[in-house]
Structure 1
Amino acid sequence: MEENVFLKVGNGNKIKFWRDGWIDRIPLSESFPDLFSICNNPEARVCKCWTTQGWDLSFRRLLNDREVDRVASFLGKLGGTNLVTNAPYRVIWKHNKDGKFTVNSAYKKGIQAGVRGYHHHWKSIWRGLVPTKVKCFTWLVIKYLTQEVLQKKGKQLVPRCFLCNLTGETNNHLFLHCKFTAQIWEVFLNITCFS
């Protein structure tokens, strides 16, 4: 999920300075583990580390020569960041121009990334606010043993769609993009719309 959103800091009162990925989506504790290990308050919020004069960093001990150079590069990373003291923080969805999440933009992102990246999220289907029949159908689609899934389980099969014979049989192809499946969906949707 983190690769799809970023945090707009605002006044910084809800974002942890060291532990949240508010700069380059990587927590500062991971980018600068040596400085994190000697920081005075690892749970500090961004707003507590900012003053009108700039960043106020405190460490548990005096810095050695090597650490002074690291602090200089650390401050360089923070250089262009200023807090907007009267604005709340926001989570921005990267895949929409206005930064708001929409199902359509998530679907387009999923298609671009391919189904492989989304297979591990199948448990979240049951938590969604959709009708039970949609949850059951979606779960069955994901769990359906396509050629791709069977090959991952060690079965030796011909890796092609037996309906169109054009490409590999994946869940994404079989249920959404196969030309024969598209015709079935069209008939189904026409019957559903007019009944």
Structure 2
Amino acid sequence: MKQEILKGIRFNIGKGDNILFWEDVWMGDQALKHAFTDIYHLAPNRLISIADNYYLQGNDIVWNLSIRRNLRDREIEEYAAVLSCISTGKPDQTGMDRSVWKPNKSGSFSVKSLHNLIFGFPDDLEETMMDKMWKYKLPPKIAVFAWLVGGDTPPWSIS
């Protein structure tokens, strides 16, 4: 269950002091440790925050990724790809870090959106065939038969 919940959490960067640079999902759809495994394994501190990986130079953000040794040729390309990826993520020095529940358009967690995430349903499902069927003027025997075969809920509620 924990993995399903973690799949839906994304972070909006404030200062970056509460978001882990490599472990949390703050750029793209996966944690940077999965997208850039070679560079991740060269990081001396894999639990470092975003705030500890950049500094301000005037109004510009300069990323400073520490690595344990000199890079090999193939690693240079991946290091450049990491820098290119994170260059679009600009920490906001005035704001606070905030977690967002991506499966829900409002950004707030709901059990329904977790259910949809686990079972692969989009959050904004269109009307089901059964919902549409109840709007048509079908003879009751046909409507009830279709409901029994379809296994959906009946169109009435008990008060």
TM bracket (short chain): 0.5 to 0.7
Q: 2:26 aligns with which of 4, 22, 30?
A: 22
Letter in structure 2 aligned against 1:8: N
Q: Aligned equivalents of 2:50 and 2:20: distance in 1?
A: 6
User: Which structure 1 residue ranges, 5 or more long, are not aligned?
Assistant: 119-160, 191-195
Q: Higher helix fraction: Structure 1 or Structure 2? A: 1
Q: CA deviation at 1:72?
A: 0.9
Alpha-carbon spacing, 1:26–1:14, altered in 2? closer, same or farther (3 Å): same
Q: TM-score, normalised by structure 1?
A: 0.56
Deviations 1:13-54 (A, max 9, x none): 111111111111311111111111111211111000011141
Unaligned runs of 5+ in 2: 121-143
Number of residues of Structure 1 aligned to a counterpart in Structure 2: 127
Q: Distance in 2 between matches of 1:67 and 1:117?
A: 37
Identity %: 23
Structure-1 separation of matches of 2:43 and 2:88: 21
Query: Equivalent residues in 2 for 1:38-49 (5 A)?
Result: 38-49=42-53
Residue 55 of structure 1 is matched in structure 2 by 63
Mapping of residues 38-117 of structure 1, within 5 Å: 38-53=42-57, 54-94=62-102, 95-97=104-106, 99-101=107-109, 103=110, 106-107=111-112, 109=113, 113=116, 117=119
Which structure 2 residues correspond to residues 82-161 of structure 1 after superposition, within 5 A? Answer: 82-94=90-102, 95-97=104-106, 99-101=107-109, 103=110, 106-107=111-112, 109=113, 113=116, 117=119
Aligned to 1:164: 147
CA RMSD of aligned residues (A): 2.7
- How far the C-alpha of 1:6 sits from its partner, in A, is 1.6
Q: Does the 8 Å CA contact 1:2/1:25 hold for their aligned counterparts?
A: no
Q: For residue 40 of structure 2, what is the aligned residue in structure 1?
A: 36
Q: How far off its partner does 1:82 sit?
A: 1.1
- Which residue identity lines up with residue 10 of structure 2 in the other structure? F
Counterpart code for 2:119? G
Q: Which has the higher contact order (CA 8 A, sep 6+)?
A: 2
- TM normalised by structure 2 equals 0.68
Task: Find the aligned partners of 1:55 and 1:84 in 2 and give their Cα distance.
Answer: 14
Moved >4 Å (runs of 4+):
none
